[in-house]
Amino acid sequence: MKIAFIGDIVGRPGRDMLKNYLPKLKEEENIDFVIANYENASHGFGLTTKNCNELFSYGVDVMTGGNHSWDKKDVVALFDSHEILRPYNYPQEVAGKGCRIYDVAGERLAVLNLMGHYGMPYCDNAFRAAKEQVAVLHAEGVENIFIDFHAEATSEKRAMLMLLEGAVSGIIGTHTHVSSDDFQIVNGTAYLTDIGLTGCRDNVIGMDKKVPLQQFLTGMKGHFDIPKKCKKILQIAIMQIDKGKCLDAYKLKIFDDERVIKTEAWVES
């Protein structure tokens, strides 16, 4: 199977990039299944019903979340009506699910959403939760497992690879909105510390620079806004998976001026 992952979609600019490029990408790259992170999709914080339906209409198959999953009240109902995940390591009493299994190209694919600890809301131990859930999936005969690990600390993300290399098909980080340059395949596991945002690229993590600069210069906080006009980027990781192992992976950076930069994942021998 060939799956794709899109990181933090930030507001209308990010949604517009999916509208303009995802349907064509699915056809040109022969993508069977698309996973995308929704937690900044509506005005930069959370997900509304309208924007949820919009993103699915562009060809997304399932969406993952993070610390902003709960920012819009719509999301609780969306957990029941749409293929929407929230971090698995929130307490099990919380609405929604953090892992689901899908039939893709004649095989089963599990999508697991996890959230880190540094700078994040209180939740259960991500590493214990991941280890236990992966063991459950293997016991059920599910070989193909993809993880969106929504975390601030690069050390947490790297440690998750060390814990699960060879046991899952892919681990890709989200949350920082800044892409890292370490896409690799380790023992059959595709790994990228952070895929980076999809949205505005000429500002501060997809938001207008005014308030972030005010905060850094004076310590005074304000409401982050998404620019009405900006230069945009779509960042997408594409992975070829067979029998639980990633055989090939690459990332595309697609700019709104039609430039495309392709980065091949290196195979760690």
Q: What is the pLDDT of residue 269?
A: 76
Strands 33-37 and 260-264: unpaired
Q: Give 261's strand partners.
A: 253
Is 177 one of the catalytic residues?
A: no
**CA dist 128 to 86, 96, 98, 135, 214, Å?**
17, 20, 14, 11, 39
User: Rounded distance, CA 56 to CA 63, Å?
Assistant: 9
Q: What is the pLDDT of residue 213?
A: 95
Q: What is the pLDDT of residue 14?
A: 98
Across the 269 residues of the chain, what is the mean pLDDT of every consecutive 10-residue run? 98 98 98 98 97 98 97 96 98 95 97 97 96 98 98 98 98 98 98 98 95 95 92 98 98 97 94
Residue ranges of domains in the chain, CATH in brackets: 2-268 (3.60.21.10)
Q: What is the pLDDT of residue 228?
A: 87
Spot the catalytic one: 68, 150, 175, 177: 68
DSSP for residue 29: T
